[in-house]
Amino acid sequence: MSGTKIRNMEEFAAISGISRPTVSKYFNDPSSVRSSTRARIEAALEEHDYRPNIFAINQNRKLTKNIGIVVPYLADPFFAEIARNLEEHCIQVGYRPTLYSSHGEQKLELEIMDSLRSLRPAGVLFAPLGRASNKSEIEKFCSDVPTVLFDSNLEGIGEAFVGSDNFSFVSQTVEYLTRTGEPPIFFEMKTPANPNANKRRIAYLQMMERLGLDPHVIKVDGQGWAFEEIGRNGALKVLGTEKLPTNAILCSNDRLAIGFLSACYELGIKVGRGADASLRVASNDDHPFARFTCPSLTTAAHDYESVSNRSVETLFQLIESGGRFKDRTETLFQARLILRDSA
């Protein structure tokens, strides 16, 4: 018998070398895991003399096996990709995910929360609209239902947030562009739909200051989630009427960059790394279609898998803790620079 004192299921999973979701699945229903896995878990229970909190587990069994997944705009391939990952992780551990999209509308986001309350889900994975959200209503919802926020962080609301480190995105793209050519302009919407955009602009300004360079921010008209159209229209106006101080453009997100590339094509402006190219264009996110643009888009990539895994794991921990953590947790994952032909 091991002399190590194990306090909770997470520590038991770590010390026994069995994944946290598999351990949770076993304690909810031992017959739901393979016999060989069940034998490993039971041997580890004996070796470490671990006895889970049966009361908490029984309380959790009174809940449904439903998990709500809420995204702000499912037509955005970024959210479609991360939702797919979240659904797969939930299904693997025996839960039934239901996907909702608020379509960029506060009214619909509020209606989704009301619907989820009536369904009594075991927990919810929630990517809020951000600027357009009713923050007080989301805070009430997080108090009523075990909820993990992801992608869009509403500071101080809920028990946990999992997302990407926006500074790591912009710091890598700015450093690369300045190292390989002229420093970049930052291209964004005047009224960003998502709070990540504001963090990226701040990161750009900080990086340019750190490098001793003058920042240039271009804000184009548009609001909502039609980013490609906003990027295209904004780029057509800017490229047709302004003399840019540099040939490098850093877009706030890949969807704006796709619109920018479309405008360049219409105007006959060649984008790329070659000597015959007039502009270099880079961005942030690694949108699922970014590698198929012409030219393919240089960008900083989300760690989709890690964000999805940690979001689901954190939600199950929250459920087993009775819907409360001692302290609010925030987990941020670093971006990864992807070099392609556009810059």
Measure the CA–CA gap between 225 and 105, rounded to whole angstroms.
10
Q: 64-163+304-333 belongs to which homologous superfamily?
A: Response regulator (3.40.50.2300)
Q: For 198-204, what is the mean pLDDT?
A: 96
Which amino acid belongs to residue 265? Y
Tokens of 204: 């750009």
Helices 135-144, 106-119: axis angle to 10 degrees equals 10
The lowest-confidence range among 41-45, 80-84, 114-118 is: 41-45
Residue 297 CB coordination number (10 Å): 28
Confidence at residue 63, expressed as pLDDT on a 0 to 100 scale = 63
Identify the burial level of 285 via C-beta atoms within 10 angstroms of its C-beta, where 0-12 means exposed, 13-18 middle and 19 or more buried.
buried
- For domain 166-301, the question of CATH label 1.10.1740.10 is answered with no
Domains 64-163+304-333 and 166-301 share a fold: yes
Of the candidate ranges 7-11, 109-113, 269-273, 307-311, the one whose mean pLDDT is the lowest? 7-11
Asked if 51 contacts 5 with a C-beta cutoff of 8 angstroms, the reply is no
Residues 6+ apart with CB under 8 A from 149: 126, 127, 128, 142, 157, 158, 160, 161, 162
pTM of the entire predicted model: 0.78
Task: Please give the average per-residue pLDDT across 137-147, as a whole number.
Answer: 93
Evaluate the CA torsion angle 314, 315, 316, 320 in order and state its sign. Answer: positive
Whole-number average pLDDT of the chain:
89
Verify cis geometry, omega within 30 degrees of 0, for the bond prior to 295. Answer: yes
For residue 157, the SS3 value is coil
2-20 pLDDT, tens digit each = 556 677 777 788 887 888 7
pLDDT for the residue numbered 202: 96
Q: Are 223 and 191 in contact (CB under 8 A)?
A: yes
Q: What angle do CA 199, 205, 211 make, to 5 degrees?
A: 135
Strands (E), the chain: 66-71, 96-101, 123-126, 147-150, 160-164, 184-189, 217-220, 248-251, 280-285, 298-301, 329-333, 336-338
pLDDT at 55: 41
Give kind and range of the element (H or E) at residue 169: helix 166-180
Distance in angstroms (rounded) separating the CA atoms of residues 167 and 206: 9
Question: Tell me, what's the pLDDT at 252?
Answer: 96
Q: Is the pLDDT of residue 34 over 80?
A: yes
131: amino acid identity, one letter: R
According to DSSP, the β-strands at 336-338 and 298-301 are antiparallel
Q: Which of 4-8, 112-116, 157-161, 197-201 has the weakest average pLDDT?
A: 4-8
DSSP string covering 75-98:
TSHHHHHHHHHHHHHHHHTT-EEE
| Beta-strand relationship, 184-189 and 217-220 | parallel
Give the model confidence (pLDDT) of 214-224 as tens digits. Answer: 999 999 999 88
Q: Read off the pLDDT of residues 214-264 as tens digits, 9 standing for 90 and up.
A: 999 999 999 888 999 999 999 999 998 878 999 999 999 999 999 999 999
pLDDT tens track for 57-109: 544 555 678 999 999 999 888 899 899 999 999 998 888 999 999 999 999 99
Backbone angles phi, psi at 160, to 5 degrees: -160, 150
User: Comparing C-alpha atoms, which of 329, 327, 315 is closest to residue 60?
Assistant: 315
**Residue 40: predicted pLDDT:** 86
**Given this model, what pLDDT does residue 281 score?**
98
Q: Which residues pair with 250 in a beta bridge?
A: 186, 282
**Whole-angstrom Cα distance, residue 263 to residue 105?**
28
Domain ranges within the chain, ordered by starting residue: 9-60, 64-163+304-333, 166-301
